[in-house]
Amino acid sequence: MHRSLLRLWALGLVSLLSTSGCETLSRSAPPPDRPGLLVVAGGGGAPPDLHRETLSRLSGVETRILILPWASEREGAGERGRLPWLEAGARTVRIAADERGPFLDQLGASDLLWMTGGSQNRLLERIDALGLREPIRDAHTGGLAVGGSSAGAAVISPLTLTGEAELDALLSEGTRLVPGLGLWPGVIIDQHFLARRRWARLFAAVAAHPDEVGVGIDEKTAVFVDRGGVVEVIGTGPVVVIDAREMRSTPVATGAPLDAREIRVHLVPAGSPFPGAPR
């Protein structure tokens, strides 16, 4: 399998977020040396070996997987989320209970929480309705692996794209974000990135939050982020990294064209190492 090892340097991993409500996320984000594996997939079909490779990094076929299908309104979303893991050989794949107490029991008995695609807004609303942000973050800090595809990937970062964005122009404040789960500090994740031409919305998001590195993951592409802060790209790629930490900008009115300089863009295919995005 082609891979890209991205050794990520110490960068002040959790920035103070300016979006309302994000201060708590910044303080409570897990430390970089303890959390479990992250598996972040761009949607539109997984890389061929994603599920087997994930199992091999955890406990093999004995990995206990909990499927969180709440991003989708489609009937049977949970069963569809289970199937690839069963086909990869996993022996214990459960669908998350839609009640707080039973869910917490399941979470404590799992090695991997996997969030399926759909609407990241719907997923976060259900997580918040059951008061599950802190339990999920605490479990991840204690070693629980967490992953997701499409909407399930978008909620992993401290700031989550809502889908409300200008796609055809680079405008100041042109992308609306809300607090995400904060499991991968220092990044803003976008999904279906090249297939759905989401450059403008991620550029606008990063320009508004230059301490956060934009990570655009395309379809049939995923990244692993291990406990030591190494990111590995698998699949068709590339992953697009937008780094505005050294950006020079001139303030403009909301909705006006962006005036920003010194933004670095990196295209990282599988098999090509790059030091850039934080863990």
- The whole-number pLDDT of residue 243 equals 94
The tens digit of pLDDT for each residue in 114-158 reads 999 999 999 999 999 999 999 999 999 999 999 999 999 999 999
pLDDT mean across residues, the chain = 86
pLDDT of 24 reads 28
With 0.75 as the threshold, say if the pTM is over it. yes
What are the phi and psi torsion angles at 20 (to 5°)?
-55, 130
Name, in order, each residue with C-beta under 8 angstroms of 184's C-beta and a sequence gap of 6 or more. 38, 40, 156, 157, 158, 225, 279
Which stretch of 2-6, 79-83, 219-223 has the lowest confidence by average pLDDT? 2-6
What is the pLDDT, as a whole number, of residue 28?
Answer: 37
**Three-state secondary-structure class, residue 242:** strand
Antiparallel, parallel or unpaired: β 239-243 and 264-268:
antiparallel
| pLDDT beyond 50 at 16 | no
At the top level of CATH, the class of 4-268 is alpha beta
User: For residue 271, what pLDDT band results from cuts at 50, 70 and 90?
Assistant: confident
Write the pLDDT tens digit of every residue in 155-196: 999 999 998 888 888 888 889 999 999 999 999 999 999 999
Task: Give the per-residue pLDDT at 36.
Answer: 96
Structure tokens at 8: 């990520």
Contact assessment for residue 231 and residue 37, using Cβ atoms and an 8 Å cutoff: no
Between the CA of residue 272 and those of 1, 9, 18, 214, 279, what are the distances in Å?
13, 17, 33, 18, 18
The residue count for the chain: 279
The SS3 assignment for 54 reads helix
CA 175 → CA 159, 205, 208, distances in Å? Answer: 11, 6, 9
The pLDDT assigned to 62 comes to 97
pLDDT at 26: 32
The domains of the chain are located at: 4-268
Q: What is the pLDDT of residue 273?
A: 60
For 37-93, the pLDDT digits (tens) are 999 999 999 999 999 999 999 999 999 999 999 999 999 999 999 999 999 999 999
